[in-house]
Structure 1
């Protein structure tokens, strides 16, 4: 994955707007010096308390932790291991079963002879000790089902990759929401602190008879509004933190703080689907979407599952022509249980032993003819139905991927326009704030007007922050939609 970073947008962390927010009218400058020092010291004390022992984090750390600790990714690692174990088990079909042990036989009474007559008063005592090998090679099931298991194991690798991309994409989007919420909270806190300072100034002027009492009420009401905005931002930041903690599988109650003080515009290489100079998606010919889904791991995994079904289907067609080979062999010591054997031809074996070496080998080659399968073809029809379902699901997945590409690209186009509009608005608000502060130095503007200009400036900057965050999320979304890996 290649990344290109363009224009950097500096977002105000604690005190980065200090030079703008702390200017005062020349007539109040002397009386406000001690207040400014007090506010600065208070912020130095409050900020560490608000972020009590937080865990610093950035996008690189999020991707590292997300890839290692995300529970969805961990689940699919186990699913992939399960599929690999299934393939290993399927490959066991050609190996025989070995056994070793001892077997005894004792019979007292009657025994049936092969000619239908009975032997009476029989006493049989025998001992068998040895090793045995049994093998049953069903070439149809062994070959075709092993091939199917191999396809499924490969498919699970692609599905695991797809789920990893989805999980990391969700983590990236949550991180950008978390970062935007953190910057928003810090900005509203700064503005509320500035509003508190101005409200105190206005209150002093009201008591001195320099301003109307209504102006003091208005300043206090505005301070309450900004405090509410700061509290709302804090709640949004807490919610975003909890979501990020869940995705990273961190301990409950873990405090996080982003170390990213720059919100960069991300640009990922997406080939012909890049955003630069691209027409609206509605103007693209349909033919552009016929192959756009192919790089997606979901499509590769589903196609492999289709191949697995087609391989298993051959057990009901070509597999009927393949035989089954059965082999049974053993080598043992066989003889009497508590004494010497009694040979049938005692004259030929005048000195019998207790145990004698014995070997046997049985081989059979069998062609099975399943009449039920030939007459009704039920199993074959089942495979045909499963293959048909899989083909429909592949088409559904293809349509869904095309939709994801369209949506991601349209979101990227919209976010790019939002950034342009928000940047223009931020520049205008910044110029308005600069001019208001110049008039403040001349004593021709009220402090409350400065606060309003600062509020508008911060709002436009936050609009820009949200637009950049939306752009970056859409850029990563398009990257994944086009089959890129995270």
Structure 2
């Protein structure tokens, strides 16, 4: 085996490693991966998820109200000196000692308040779950917006690069014509100025693209050193048929969360009415050995039960707690009514934006076609020296402006679609 063959084999072995390192330093993204990565990696979603777990743990804790407290152990009692008996007489020179060892349980059931609070916390948990869904939707929508801005800006950069390259070619053409005495030097200076203008525009466009890349990396919680690769770099129009259901906004998790919050408060309010009439049961029982440790220990067991109604007189006369619950419920209902009006208005607004975006995209696409054709003809005339330099510059400006209008229209078309999707009560 010669040296050349060995080198080829080594290169073949190393290539997969190099490819793996390249792949690990880049991330291929599309709209679906933006949604999935947001759900899986966002610090804010993880934090909110832990808050939700805390509420779940609170529900588990509330359901533990019927569990007794168990105790086990031993006690040693010694007394030397004076002691008082039950009728108040004192005895002196008392020398007493005893030992107790056993196991017991204390139980206090308050089914009125405890069962009501369990039902209230269940409603509160449901409210928090809807709030978590609403928060996740909002965060993902923000990341989608940044992703679409990044995609639009990438298209802008490509367009400016293309215009800048054309501008550079025009400078070279005019330079040849000036040297041949067929153009004035002022024409060349104007061409160079125009070229520098597009060069500055390119620098600014690339800076904005880099900033958006950092924003997207932050939103997706990925390393800034990991290069983002778009699965599809083209801005594509969304032409799905969306039917407007004027009541669909009522499925929004924000509204459902508020409804469950009101229901939770209404459940808690029962502790100030029904809960006051249900007695609490108290029970204490133990099994032990008791006596003098030096002589005899006797088996001893005891059971104590009580049925109690406990309430404050304020719960009957001033009723401050009840008034507080009523005020809280009324405030939540007012907030629900406001949100209902707000989200109904947002649905109509986002639907109008969606319809308008399709019209503006169609118009801007047509304008872009006109501008591109005008640019092609002007460049052809420039080569034949039948077009003046300012005509070329104007054609470039019109083309770039038409491209910007089209990119903005498609961006708004995409963004309004996702806003409308959430306004119709859907979730990511």
Please report the TM-score for the alignment, with normalisation by the length of structure 2: 0.89
Residues in 2 aligned to 1:483 and 1:413: alpha-carbon distance in whole angstroms: 18
SS in 2 for 1:315: helix
| 1:46-445 → structure 2 map (5 Å cutoff) | 55-252=27-224, 254-267=226-239, 270-273=242-245, 288=246, 291-337=247-293, 339-340=294-295, 353=296, 355-436=297-378, 439=381, 444-445=386-387
Residues in 1 aligned to 2:210 and 2:349: alpha-carbon distance in whole angstroms: 29
SS in 1 for 2:237: strand
SS in 1 for 2:317: helix
What's the CA shift for 1:211? 0.9
- The unaligned stretches of length 5 or more in structure 2 are 1-24
Query: What does the per-residue CA deviation read over 1:461-482, in whole Å, with 9 as the maximum and x for residues that have no partner?
Result: 3321221111110110011011
Q: Report the structure, 1 or 2, having the larger helix content.
A: 2
What's the CA shift for 1:190? 2.4
Residues in 2 aligned to 1:194 and 1:440: alpha-carbon distance in whole angstroms: 12
Residues in 1 aligned to 2:316 and 2:108: alpha-carbon distance in whole angstroms: 23
What's the CA shift for 1:203? 2.1
Instruction: Note if contact 1:408-1:474 (Cα within 8 Å) is conserved in structure 2.
Output: yes
Residues in 2 aligned to 1:267 and 1:387: alpha-carbon distance in whole angstroms: 44
What's the CA shift for 1:396? 1.8
- The unaligned stretches of length 5 or more in structure 1 are 1-52, 274-287, 341-352
Query: What does the per-residue CA deviation read over 1:76-119, in whole Å, with 9 as the maximum and x for residues that have no partner?
Result: 21121111111111101111111112222111111111122122
What's the CA shift for 1:272? 2.8
Query: What does the per-residue CA deviation read over 1:188-239, in whole Å, with 9 as the maximum and x for residues that have no partner?
Result: 1222123123213322322332210110110011011101111121122122
Q: How many residues align?
A: 404
Instruction: Note if contact 1:267-1:475 (Cα within 8 Å) is conserved in structure 2.
Output: no
Alignment pair present for 1:464 and 2:406:
yes
SS in 2 for 1:272: coil
What's the CA shift for 1:430? 2.5
SS in 1 for 2:186: helix
Instruction: Note if contact 1:194-1:451 (Cα within 8 Å) is conserved in structure 2.
Output: no
What's the CA shift for 1:459? 3.2
Residues in 1 aligned to 2:185 and 2:43: alpha-carbon distance in whole angstroms: 59
Residues in 1 aligned to 2:76 and 2:259: alpha-carbon distance in whole angstroms: 55
What's the CA shift for 1:409? 1.9
Query: What does the per-residue CA deviation read over 1:339-390, in whole Å, with 9 as the maximum and x for residues that have no partner?
Result: 11xxxxxxxxxxxx2x222111111111224222111111111111111111
Query: What does the per-residue CA deviation read over 1:7-55, in whole Å, with 9 as the maximum and x for residues that have no partner?
Result: xxxxxxxxxxxxxxxxxxxxxxxxxxxxxxxxxxxxxxxxxxxxxx654
What's the CA shift for 1:394? 0.9
1:402–1:272 Cα change, 3 Å = closer
1:293–1:272 Cα change, 3 Å = closer
Residues in 2 aligned to 1:91 and 1:431: alpha-carbon distance in whole angstroms: 73
Query: What does the per-residue CA deviation read over 1:150-170, in whole Å, with 9 as the maximum and x for residues that have no partner?
Result: 001111111111111111111
Instruction: Note if contact 2:79-2:96 (Cα within 8 Å) is conserved in structure 1.
Output: yes
Instruction: Note if contact 2:272-2:322 (Cα within 8 Å) is conserved in structure 1.
Output: yes
Residues in 2 aligned to 1:114 and 1:270: alpha-carbon distance in whole angstroms: 86
Please report the TM-score for the alignment, with normalisation by the length of structure 1: 0.78
Residues in 1 aligned to 2:193 and 2:411: alpha-carbon distance in whole angstroms: 32
Residues in 1 aligned to 2:90 and 2:113: alpha-carbon distance in whole angstroms: 45
Residues in 2 aligned to 1:358 and 1:228: alpha-carbon distance in whole angstroms: 95
1:268–1:84 Cα change, 3 Å = farther
Two-structure CA RMSD over aligned residues (Å): 2.1
Residues in 2 aligned to 1:442 and 1:188: alpha-carbon distance in whole angstroms: 25
